[in-house]
Structure 1
Amino acid sequence: MLQVNYIRDHFDQVLEGLRKRSLPDAEFKLKQVLDTDKKRKDTQAERDQLQAESKTISKQIGMLMKDGKKEEAEKVKARTAEIKGQIKSLEETYNSAEEELKQLLYNIPNVPHNSVPAGNTEDDNEVVLENGVAPTLYDGKKPHWELIKEYDIIDFDLGVKVTGAGFPVYKGKGARLQRALVNFFLDEALQQGYNEVQPPILVNEDSGYGTGQLPDKEGQMYQATADNLYLIPTAEVPITNLYRDVILQEKDFPIKNTAFTPCFRREAGSWGAHVRGLNRLHQFDKVEIVQISHPDHSYQALEDMSSYVQGLLKKLELPYRVLRLCGGDTGFTSALTYDMEVFSAAQEKWLEVSSVSNFETYQANRLKLRYRGEDKKIHLAHTLNGSALALPRIVAAILENNQTEKGIKMPEVLVPYLGFEWIN
């Protein structure tokens, strides 16, 4: 979440940034924060003043008792009791203001980076680059939801039987393709200096608040209500929360972690042709990369992460493009996000397969994720994450773009992992 001092000291800059997101009543919400913070501080000052007065009176009582002035001492004691009641009332007011301030900050998104274009929809996103050429397919080309039935590699009907819509069953070479992609992505990440971890796939409420899924996205998360735990929407949540309430040393940077996990998203309100087949699922596999960075180097880290994901797409021989998301399309917690999209030659559309984001101090402020600088002072770190990669649409693009009349040819880089070259 945003820092109150930053809002106060850079009010116009913060307001201008939030207007890029078309945030309703942005100025009113920011002034609410400052007014509530002033109320909190004024209450604290009044409480501190009364506590100081109480200490002074206590000394007076001791001196009066020592001098044998019991009647005067009793009168002063009455004032002490009155002060205690006032302090209790002020503490209740202070706690209420502090909670109100926290809730206000929870509901204000991050300020977009200066380079983020203004806009409200995906049509306002900026195309940074395109790479590769869409393949020319034979006349009988099919979308992946037809190919998977023809080659019997993914079964949606079985998934519906076992769980429900959006939970596919991968079979035979389909399952092997999933495993090959996971191993390929992890191996590539390790070669780039990432440390592999296996985090829990259930997280508590504090973790959800720490990375910003709560209170913004609770409607999109599956909840184990009996234990008040949430199934993760991405490995970003447990990995980043490993560093909640941690003070790092400057020499620790950069911290680079990667993990393979299943991910779960309710995707409430999603329907239509654009979510057919693997285009949008409730459960899917993903390899995530997460970095914790010194603030001076986080945007170079973001560029490095973007280049790394692009390298994976090149090795998979998939045509792709990179988008810089506009303010209205940028995630709640992100300051700058690049989306990577691959071109599906059968569907003749771009499919998002990765987002890499810099959250600056937004998550770190919630997490109390800090570091001790060379100046010996404590500062907030920067956090970043990216999909490297989410499997469903990668699988869809591989199947569609590599289909031929005699079968589906696998990308050369995956053959050592698969043990076969063709699905036929």
Structure 2
Amino acid sequence: MLEDIFHRVKLASKSLPNMDEALRNRLLCLVADAIEKETETLLAANREDLAAIDKSNPMYDRLQLTPARLKEIADNMRHVATLPSPLGKVLKHKTLPNGLDLRRVSVPFGVIGVVYEARPNVTFDVFALCLKSGNASILKCGKDAFRSCQAGVDLIHRVLESVHVSPDIVALLPATHEATAALLQAVGYVDLCIPRGGKRLISFVRDTAKVPVIETGAGVVHCYFDKRGDVAMGQRIIDNAKTRRCSVCNTLDCLIIHSSRLSDLPQLVKPLADKQVKLHADPRAYAALQGRYPADLLVPVADDDEWNTEWLSMQMGIKTVDSIDEALEHIDTYGSGHSESIVTDDRAAARHFQQAVDAACVYVNAPTSFTDGAQFGLGAEIGISTQKLGARGPMALEEMTTYKWLINGNGQVRP
């Protein structure tokens, strides 16, 4: 059964590189329209998934669909339709002394498999980006989101069939471990696999897959408040980075503060108290906050392992350092290469931070909440790559392509 799905998707993928660009864009707009028209159908399926998960679970927010979120998904899909095609771009062009004409041209990967957890929005994001970039997609969501994702794929299939396009350009696998294993072993069918989820999922995919993998998603994210940071700016940045949407991978996990600014710490985190953010503070930060932050929301750091935590909830660590280099050392030890930020009025410190931090996205005086493709003007992204080979950072349309060399000759032979 699974191999049959892989075969059908692979076969359907052959038609995508030559699909008319106007048809791609029309399909995206038709799916966006259908999302808005069938909002209640999608929400009904989502409610079934939500009923099986505790509201206190950090995954609940990622799993939940609302009319506003579905409207945003539809709007993002329409935005993708307006973006320039990433296909057929001449990336390099040269003529050799012997007259051979060489062009390096962007082309689709072919079939992209995506393994993700309780994120039904990924279903639509992946379809939109894959269709626009000429790729077929095989989706494997977690069991917590299966009804929501199935409803989404069913909607897409109905739209595709209405304009006589093969529904096999996107497929949803069963929510089983066997399906995940089969996808990761599908050599000859799957050209690239992208995991979307936490560290455990990403490590499993990387360690198990026989098909090529791009690692995305896991974020242990820091903001360093420098000795020359502005308090009002820092307060806004910390609040936005932590509380805008606490369950996503670019959310702030640890505030690092210069020891000379501990007296400002209560003011920096004041908005977090109103939003019930629990702070895990080191001894110096704990002392600075005692009596100035709600006691039931302030706890000492249990041990150094806690600095590795991607909270995905209204919780955050606070680490005190005596220098920017100590902050950099902490980030180097516990960061995941995702997104890091510094708040400072010192241009030299900002430059040093951006040069020294080894991460896909490094911010100065801005929150890490901007790390996604839509905010960078790239359209919705398929993930945030934390690796260095190939795509890095938001993986939008251009990152969904590879290239091939086209060589035109006139009878030349090699001596």
TM-score by length of 1: 0.21
| Structure with the greater alpha carbon radius of gyration | 1
